[in-house]
Structure 1
Protein backbone atom coordinates (compact mmCIF):
# COMPACT_ATOMS: atom_id res chain seq x y z
CA UNK A 1 0.00 0.00 0.00
CA UNK A 2 1.41 3.40 -1.03
CA UNK A 3 0.86 6.29 1.38
CA UNK A 4 1.36 10.04 0.68
CA UNK A 5 3.10 11.94 3.48
CA UNK A 6 3.84 15.61 4.06
CA UNK A 7 3.60 18.18 1.27
CA UNK A 8 6.62 17.06 -0.71
CA UNK A 9 4.74 14.50 -2.71
CA UNK A 10 7.03 11.76 -1.48
CA UNK A 11 5.54 8.34 -1.02
CA UNK A 12 6.30 5.83 1.66
CA UNK A 13 6.27 2.15 0.94
CA UNK A 14 6.25 -0.09 4.04
CA UNK A 15 9.26 -2.34 4.00
CA UNK A 16 9.12 -6.07 4.49
CA UNK A 17 10.79 -5.55 7.89
CA UNK A 18 8.11 -3.08 9.02
CA UNK A 19 5.33 -5.39 7.85
CA UNK A 20 6.90 -8.22 9.80
CA UNK A 21 7.06 -6.06 12.93
CA UNK A 22 3.41 -5.10 12.54
CA UNK A 23 2.37 -8.73 12.13
CA UNK A 24 4.46 -9.69 15.16
CA UNK A 25 2.83 -6.95 17.25
CA UNK A 26 -0.67 -7.99 16.19
CA UNK A 27 0.18 -11.61 16.97
CA UNK A 28 1.41 -10.66 20.46
CA UNK A 29 -1.70 -8.57 21.17
CA UNK A 30 -3.95 -11.38 20.00
CA UNK A 31 -2.06 -13.92 22.08
CA UNK A 32 -2.30 -11.69 25.15
CA UNK A 33 -6.06 -11.26 24.64
CA UNK A 34 -6.52 -15.02 24.30
CA UNK A 35 -4.42 -15.73 27.39
CA UNK A 36 -6.24 -13.05 29.41
CA UNK A 37 -9.61 -14.45 28.36
CA UNK A 38 -8.52 -17.99 29.21
CA UNK A 39 -7.25 -16.95 32.65
CA UNK A 40 -10.46 -15.02 33.38
CA UNK A 41 -12.66 -17.92 32.25
CA UNK A 42 -10.62 -20.37 34.32
CA UNK A 43 -10.86 -18.09 37.35
CA UNK A 44 -14.63 -17.88 36.95
CA UNK A 45 -14.93 -21.64 36.63
CA UNK A 46 -12.78 -22.30 39.71
CA UNK A 47 -14.55 -19.61 41.73
CA UNK A 48 -17.96 -21.03 40.86
CA UNK A 49 -16.81 -24.57 41.63
CA UNK A 50 -15.43 -23.77 45.08
CA UNK A 51 -18.11 -21.24 46.10
CA UNK A 52 -20.86 -22.44 48.40
CA UNK A 53 -24.30 -21.11 47.32
CA UNK A 54 -26.08 -19.10 49.97
CA UNK A 55 -29.49 -18.84 48.29
CA UNK A 56 -31.66 -20.11 45.46
CA UNK A 57 -33.07 -17.98 42.62
CA UNK A 58 -35.98 -19.50 40.70
CA UNK A 59 -36.96 -17.84 37.42
CA UNK A 60 -40.70 -17.70 36.85
CA UNK A 61 -42.31 -18.84 33.64
CA UNK A 62 -43.43 -22.42 34.35
CA UNK A 63 -45.08 -23.81 37.53
CA UNK A 64 -42.90 -26.92 37.30
CA UNK A 65 -39.89 -24.80 38.23
CA UNK A 66 -41.44 -23.99 41.60
CA UNK A 67 -42.36 -27.63 42.18
CA UNK A 68 -38.77 -28.60 41.41
CA UNK A 69 -37.44 -25.79 43.62
CA UNK A 70 -39.59 -26.94 46.55
CA UNK A 71 -38.06 -30.42 46.38
CA UNK A 72 -34.61 -28.89 45.93
CA UNK A 73 -35.18 -26.72 49.01
CA UNK A 74 -35.90 -29.83 51.09
CA UNK A 75 -32.40 -31.08 50.26
CA UNK A 76 -30.84 -27.69 51.13
CA UNK A 77 -32.57 -26.67 54.37
CA UNK A 78 -30.28 -23.74 55.12
CA UNK A 79 -30.95 -21.82 51.92
CA UNK A 80 -33.54 -19.12 51.36
CA UNK A 81 -35.43 -19.16 48.07
CA UNK A 82 -36.29 -16.23 45.82
CA UNK A 83 -38.93 -16.80 43.13
CA UNK A 84 -38.93 -14.08 40.48
CA UNK A 85 -42.35 -13.48 38.88
CA UNK A 86 -43.47 -17.07 39.17
CA UNK A 87 -46.98 -18.44 39.64
CA UNK A 88 -49.62 -16.56 41.63
CA UNK A 89 -48.83 -16.27 45.35
CA UNK A 90 -51.51 -18.74 46.42
CA UNK A 91 -50.15 -21.49 44.22
CA UNK A 92 -46.48 -20.82 45.05
CA UNK A 93 -47.14 -20.72 48.78
CA UNK A 94 -49.13 -23.97 48.53
CA UNK A 95 -46.33 -25.73 46.61
CA UNK A 96 -43.69 -24.85 49.17
CA UNK A 97 -46.02 -25.52 52.09
CA UNK A 98 -46.81 -29.01 50.75
CA UNK A 99 -43.06 -29.67 50.58
CA UNK A 100 -42.70 -28.63 54.21
CA UNK A 101 -40.69 -25.48 53.48
CA UNK A 102 -41.02 -22.82 56.18
CA UNK A 103 -42.66 -19.65 54.77
CA UNK A 104 -39.90 -17.42 56.14
CA UNK A 105 -37.49 -19.07 53.72
CA UNK A 106 -39.57 -18.06 50.70
CA UNK A 107 -39.39 -14.69 48.97
CA UNK A 108 -41.94 -14.18 46.20
CA UNK A 109 -41.10 -11.22 43.99
CA UNK A 110 -43.25 -10.00 41.09
CA UNK A 111 -41.27 -7.03 39.77
CA UNK A 112 -39.84 -8.82 36.72
CA UNK A 113 -41.58 -8.76 33.35
CA UNK A 114 -39.11 -10.96 31.44
CA UNK A 115 -35.90 -12.95 31.83
CA UNK A 116 -33.57 -9.96 31.93
CA UNK A 117 -35.57 -8.27 34.69
CA UNK A 118 -35.69 -11.58 36.60
CA UNK A 119 -32.07 -10.73 37.35
CA UNK A 120 -31.96 -6.94 37.39
CA UNK A 121 -34.82 -6.53 39.88
CA UNK A 122 -33.22 -8.79 42.49
CA UNK A 123 -29.46 -8.60 42.05
CA UNK A 124 -29.00 -5.57 44.31
CA UNK A 125 -31.11 -7.14 47.06
CA UNK A 126 -28.96 -10.27 46.91
CA UNK A 127 -25.85 -8.10 47.00
CA UNK A 128 -27.18 -6.15 50.00
CA UNK A 129 -27.57 -9.43 51.86
CA UNK A 130 -23.89 -10.24 51.19
CA UNK A 131 -24.81 -13.16 48.96
CA UNK A 132 -21.88 -14.05 46.69
CA UNK A 133 -23.11 -17.31 45.14
CA UNK A 134 -26.54 -18.75 44.33
CA UNK A 135 -28.20 -21.74 42.75
CA UNK A 136 -30.03 -20.67 39.58
CA UNK A 137 -33.10 -22.75 38.73
CA UNK A 138 -34.94 -22.59 35.42
CA UNK A 139 -36.07 -24.93 32.64
CA UNK A 140 -33.35 -26.63 30.58
CA UNK A 141 -34.52 -25.03 27.32
CA UNK A 142 -34.28 -21.61 28.96
CA UNK A 143 -30.97 -22.10 30.76
CA UNK A 144 -28.60 -20.92 28.02
CA UNK A 145 -30.26 -17.49 27.89
CA UNK A 146 -30.45 -17.32 31.69
CA UNK A 147 -26.74 -18.11 32.00
CA UNK A 148 -25.75 -15.40 29.52
CA UNK A 149 -27.77 -12.81 31.42
CA UNK A 150 -26.61 -14.12 34.79
CA UNK A 151 -22.94 -13.89 33.86
CA UNK A 152 -23.44 -10.22 33.02
CA UNK A 153 -25.93 -9.01 35.63
CA UNK A 154 -24.94 -11.17 38.60
CA UNK A 155 -21.29 -10.92 37.59
CA UNK A 156 -21.50 -7.12 37.70
CA UNK A 157 -22.19 -7.43 41.44
CA UNK A 158 -19.63 -10.15 42.09
CA UNK A 159 -22.24 -12.90 42.46
CA UNK A 160 -21.44 -16.35 41.07
CA UNK A 161 -24.09 -18.96 40.30
CA UNK A 162 -24.50 -22.67 39.80
CA UNK A 163 -27.15 -23.58 37.19
CA UNK A 164 -29.74 -26.23 38.05
CA UNK A 165 -31.86 -27.22 35.05
CA UNK A 166 -35.45 -28.42 35.24
CA UNK A 167 -36.32 -30.94 32.48
CA UNK A 168 -38.82 -29.47 30.03
CA UNK A 169 -38.89 -31.88 27.10
CA UNK A 170 -38.37 -28.93 24.75
CA UNK A 171 -35.50 -27.93 22.48
CA UNK A 172 -33.13 -25.18 23.61
CA UNK A 173 -34.31 -21.70 22.70
CA UNK A 174 -32.86 -20.05 19.58
CA UNK A 175 -29.48 -18.49 20.29
CA UNK A 176 -30.79 -15.16 18.98
CA UNK A 177 -32.76 -14.76 22.21
CA UNK A 178 -29.61 -15.22 24.27
CA UNK A 179 -27.73 -12.67 22.15
CA UNK A 180 -30.56 -10.14 22.33
CA UNK A 181 -31.00 -10.43 26.08
CA UNK A 182 -27.25 -10.49 26.63
CA UNK A 183 -27.09 -7.11 24.88
CA UNK A 184 -29.92 -5.83 27.09
CA UNK A 185 -28.05 -7.03 30.17
CA UNK A 186 -24.93 -5.13 29.07
CA UNK A 187 -27.11 -2.04 28.51
CA UNK A 188 -28.42 -2.38 32.06
CA UNK A 189 -24.91 -2.58 33.50
CA UNK A 190 -23.83 0.51 31.53
CA UNK A 191 -26.97 2.67 31.59
CA UNK A 192 -29.24 1.20 34.26
CA UNK A 193 -32.01 0.29 31.81
CA UNK A 194 -32.86 -3.04 30.17
CA UNK A 195 -34.68 -1.54 27.20
CA UNK A 196 -37.85 -3.54 27.96
CA UNK A 197 -40.06 -0.66 26.78
CA UNK A 198 -38.34 -0.70 23.40
CA UNK A 199 -38.83 -4.48 23.17
CA UNK A 200 -42.55 -4.08 23.83
CA UNK A 201 -42.81 -1.41 21.14
CA UNK A 202 -41.04 -3.65 18.63
CA UNK A 203 -43.38 -6.52 19.49
CA UNK A 204 -46.32 -4.23 18.89
CA UNK A 205 -45.13 -3.67 15.32
CA UNK A 206 -44.69 -7.37 14.51
Structure 2
Protein backbone atom coordinates (compact mmCIF):
# COMPACT_ATOMS: atom_id res chain seq x y z
CA UNK A 1 0.00 0.00 0.00
CA UNK A 2 1.33 3.41 -0.92
CA UNK A 3 1.03 5.83 1.96
CA UNK A 4 -0.84 9.04 1.54
CA UNK A 5 -4.14 8.79 3.36
CA UNK A 6 -5.73 7.02 6.24
CA UNK A 7 -8.54 5.83 3.92
CA UNK A 8 -5.99 3.60 2.15
CA UNK A 9 -4.86 2.21 5.49
CA UNK A 10 -8.45 1.39 6.49
CA UNK A 11 -8.90 -0.36 3.13
CA UNK A 12 -5.64 -2.28 3.63
CA UNK A 13 -6.77 -3.31 7.13
CA UNK A 14 -10.06 -4.62 5.73
CA UNK A 15 -8.09 -6.59 3.14
CA UNK A 16 -5.66 -7.92 5.77
CA UNK A 17 -8.46 -9.05 8.09
CA UNK A 18 -10.02 -11.07 5.24
CA UNK A 19 -6.70 -12.43 3.91
CA UNK A 20 -4.79 -13.38 7.05
CA UNK A 21 -2.01 -15.30 5.29
CA UNK A 22 -1.00 -12.47 2.95
CA UNK A 23 1.65 -10.03 4.23
CA UNK A 24 0.91 -6.32 3.91
CA UNK A 25 3.58 -3.68 3.29
CA UNK A 26 2.69 -0.06 3.97
CA UNK A 27 5.18 2.30 2.38
CA UNK A 28 5.40 5.51 4.42
CA UNK A 29 1.90 5.78 5.79
CA UNK A 30 0.40 7.49 8.83
CA UNK A 31 2.03 7.52 12.25
CA UNK A 32 2.69 4.03 13.57
CA UNK A 33 0.20 4.02 16.49
CA UNK A 34 -2.55 5.26 14.16
CA UNK A 35 -1.91 2.40 11.75
CA UNK A 36 -1.80 0.01 14.70
CA UNK A 37 -5.18 1.32 15.87
CA UNK A 38 -6.75 0.75 12.44
CA UNK A 39 -5.44 -2.79 12.06
CA UNK A 40 -6.35 -3.73 15.65
CA UNK A 41 -9.89 -2.45 15.09
CA UNK A 42 -10.17 -4.65 11.98
CA UNK A 43 -8.69 -7.62 13.89
CA UNK A 44 -5.87 -8.14 11.40
CA UNK A 45 -2.90 -10.33 12.31
CA UNK A 46 -0.35 -7.68 13.28
CA UNK A 47 2.69 -9.87 12.62
CA UNK A 48 1.74 -9.89 8.90
CA UNK A 49 1.81 -6.08 8.60
CA UNK A 50 5.07 -4.28 7.80
CA UNK A 51 5.75 -0.54 7.80
CA UNK A 52 8.46 0.81 5.49
CA UNK A 53 9.38 4.25 6.84
CA UNK A 54 12.16 5.36 4.42
CA UNK A 55 10.14 6.59 1.43
CA UNK A 56 9.60 10.32 0.96
CA UNK A 57 7.99 10.20 -2.50
CA UNK A 58 6.08 7.89 -4.79
CA UNK A 59 9.32 6.92 -6.51
CA UNK A 60 10.81 6.08 -3.09
CA UNK A 61 7.78 3.89 -2.33
CA UNK A 62 8.84 1.63 -5.20
CA UNK A 63 12.59 2.10 -4.63
CA UNK A 64 12.39 0.79 -1.05
CA UNK A 65 9.51 -1.67 -1.50
CA UNK A 66 11.14 -3.64 -4.32
CA UNK A 67 13.90 -5.27 -2.20
CA UNK A 68 11.36 -6.14 0.51
CA UNK A 69 8.97 -7.72 -1.98
CA UNK A 70 11.85 -9.62 -3.57
CA UNK A 71 12.93 -10.94 -0.15
CA UNK A 72 9.34 -12.19 0.28
CA UNK A 73 9.62 -13.82 -3.16
CA UNK A 74 6.48 -11.95 -4.23
CA UNK A 75 5.33 -12.65 -7.78
CA UNK A 76 1.99 -10.85 -7.59
CA UNK A 77 0.97 -7.89 -5.46
CA UNK A 78 -2.10 -5.77 -4.91
CA UNK A 79 -1.25 -2.07 -4.87
CA UNK A 80 -3.69 0.16 -3.01
CA UNK A 81 -3.76 3.79 -4.11
CA UNK A 82 -6.16 6.65 -4.84
CA UNK A 83 -7.84 7.65 -8.10
CA UNK A 84 -5.78 10.86 -8.37
CA UNK A 85 -2.56 8.93 -7.79
CA UNK A 86 -3.39 5.93 -10.00
CA UNK A 87 -1.96 6.92 -13.41
CA UNK A 88 1.54 7.71 -12.15
CA UNK A 89 1.58 4.89 -9.59
CA UNK A 90 0.38 2.41 -12.22
CA UNK A 91 3.10 3.34 -14.71
CA UNK A 92 5.81 3.27 -12.08
CA UNK A 93 4.71 -0.04 -10.56
CA UNK A 94 4.40 -1.78 -13.90
CA UNK A 95 7.84 -0.56 -15.00
CA UNK A 96 9.80 -1.17 -11.79
CA UNK A 97 8.06 -4.26 -10.44
CA UNK A 98 7.44 -5.69 -13.91
CA UNK A 99 11.18 -5.58 -14.63
CA UNK A 100 11.56 -7.99 -11.71
CA UNK A 101 8.73 -10.33 -12.66
CA UNK A 102 6.24 -8.98 -10.13
CA UNK A 103 2.67 -8.69 -11.45
CA UNK A 104 0.68 -5.74 -10.07
CA UNK A 105 -3.08 -5.51 -9.52
CA UNK A 106 -4.52 -2.16 -8.48
CA UNK A 107 -7.21 -1.34 -5.95
CA UNK A 108 -8.39 2.25 -5.98
CA UNK A 109 -9.65 3.78 -2.74
CA UNK A 110 -12.09 6.67 -2.78
CA UNK A 111 -10.54 9.62 -0.95
CA UNK A 112 -12.46 12.20 1.04
CA UNK A 113 -11.97 15.85 0.16
CA UNK A 114 -9.38 17.35 -2.18
CA UNK A 115 -6.21 15.29 -2.78
CA UNK A 116 -3.15 16.63 -0.98
CA UNK A 117 -1.03 16.40 -4.11
CA UNK A 118 -1.81 17.07 -7.74
CA UNK A 119 -0.40 14.83 -10.45
CA UNK A 120 1.09 17.07 -13.13
CA UNK A 121 2.07 15.74 -16.58
CA UNK A 122 5.66 16.93 -15.99
CA UNK A 123 5.92 15.11 -12.65
CA UNK A 124 4.45 11.96 -14.22
CA UNK A 125 6.87 12.09 -17.19
CA UNK A 126 9.86 12.65 -14.91
CA UNK A 127 8.91 9.74 -12.66
CA UNK A 128 8.34 7.45 -15.64
CA UNK A 129 11.84 8.26 -16.94
CA UNK A 130 13.29 7.64 -13.46
CA UNK A 131 11.35 4.37 -13.29
CA UNK A 132 12.82 3.08 -16.55
CA UNK A 133 16.32 3.96 -15.33
CA UNK A 134 15.71 2.32 -11.96
CA UNK A 135 14.15 -0.77 -13.59
CA UNK A 136 17.51 -1.35 -15.28
CA UNK A 137 19.82 -0.27 -12.45
CA UNK A 138 17.85 -2.11 -9.72
CA UNK A 139 19.16 -5.42 -11.06
CA UNK A 140 22.60 -4.38 -9.78
CA UNK A 141 21.85 -2.29 -6.71
CA UNK A 142 19.52 -3.32 -3.87
CA UNK A 143 18.81 -0.47 -1.45
CA UNK A 144 17.83 -1.47 2.05
CA UNK A 145 15.50 0.58 4.18
CA UNK A 146 16.91 0.61 7.70
CA UNK A 147 13.52 1.59 9.08
CA UNK A 148 11.16 -1.34 8.44
CA UNK A 149 8.93 -2.13 11.40
CA UNK A 150 6.60 -5.03 12.06
CA UNK A 151 3.30 -3.60 13.27
CA UNK A 152 3.33 -5.84 16.35
CA UNK A 153 6.61 -4.16 17.41
CA UNK A 154 5.31 -0.57 17.48
CA UNK A 155 6.49 1.01 20.75
CA UNK A 156 3.35 2.67 22.10
CA UNK A 157 5.08 3.94 25.25
CA UNK A 158 7.55 5.94 23.14
CA UNK A 159 4.75 7.26 20.93
CA UNK A 160 2.63 8.31 23.94
CA UNK A 161 5.47 10.59 25.01
CA UNK A 162 5.28 12.42 21.66
CA UNK A 163 1.60 13.30 22.07
CA UNK A 164 0.70 11.83 18.67
CA UNK A 165 -2.71 12.47 17.13
CA UNK A 166 -4.55 10.32 14.60
CA UNK A 167 -6.89 11.59 11.89
CA UNK A 168 -10.51 11.69 12.98
CA UNK A 169 -12.12 11.90 9.55
CA UNK A 170 -12.67 8.14 9.45
CA UNK A 171 -13.29 7.68 13.16
CA UNK A 172 -9.77 6.64 14.17
CA UNK A 173 -8.47 7.96 17.45
CA UNK A 174 -5.37 7.21 19.45
CA UNK A 175 -5.12 3.82 21.11
CA UNK A 176 -5.40 5.48 24.53
CA UNK A 177 -8.75 6.99 23.51
CA UNK A 178 -10.10 3.57 22.46
CA UNK A 179 -9.90 2.19 26.01
**Shorter-chain TM-score above 0.5:** yes
Matched residues in 1 for 2:9 and 2:111: separation? 13
Q: Deviations over 1:33-82 (max 9, x none)?
A: xxxxxxxxxxxxxxxxxxxxxxxxx1011111101111122232221110
| Structure 2 match to 1:66 | 9
Structure that is richer in helix per residue: 1
Is 2:123 the counterpart of 1:177?
yes
| Structure 1 match to 2:100 | 157
Structure 1: any 5+ residue segments left out of the alignment?
1-57, 194-206
Deviation at 1:178, TM superposition (A): 2.1
Matched residues in 1 for 2:14 and 2:68: separation? 24
Q: Deviations over 1:148-192 (max 9, x none)?
A: 100111011110010000012658833333221111112223345
2:20 touches 2:45 (CA, 8 Å); kept in 1? no
- What is the CA RMSD across the aligned residues, in angstroms? 1.9
| Structure 2 match to 1:188 | 134
1:38-49 correspondence to structure 2 within 5 Å: none
What SS does the corresponding residue of 1:141 show, helix, strand or coil? coil
Matched residues in 1 for 2:72 and 2:11: separation? 25
TM-score by length of 2: 0.70
Q: Deviations over 1:58-113 (max 9, x none)?
A: 10111111011111222322211100000011111111111101110100110111
Is 2:54 the counterpart of 1:111?
yes
Q: How many residues align?
A: 136
2:95 touches 2:132 (CA, 8 Å); kept in 1? yes
TM-score by length of 1: 0.61
Matched residues in 1 for 2:32 and 2:50: separation? 10
Between 1 and 2, higher relative CO (CA 8 Å, sep ≥ 6) is seen in: 2
| Structure 2 match to 1:129 | 72
Deviation at 1:140, TM superposition (A): 1.2
Is 2:20 the counterpart of 1:77?
yes
Structure with higher Rg: it is 1
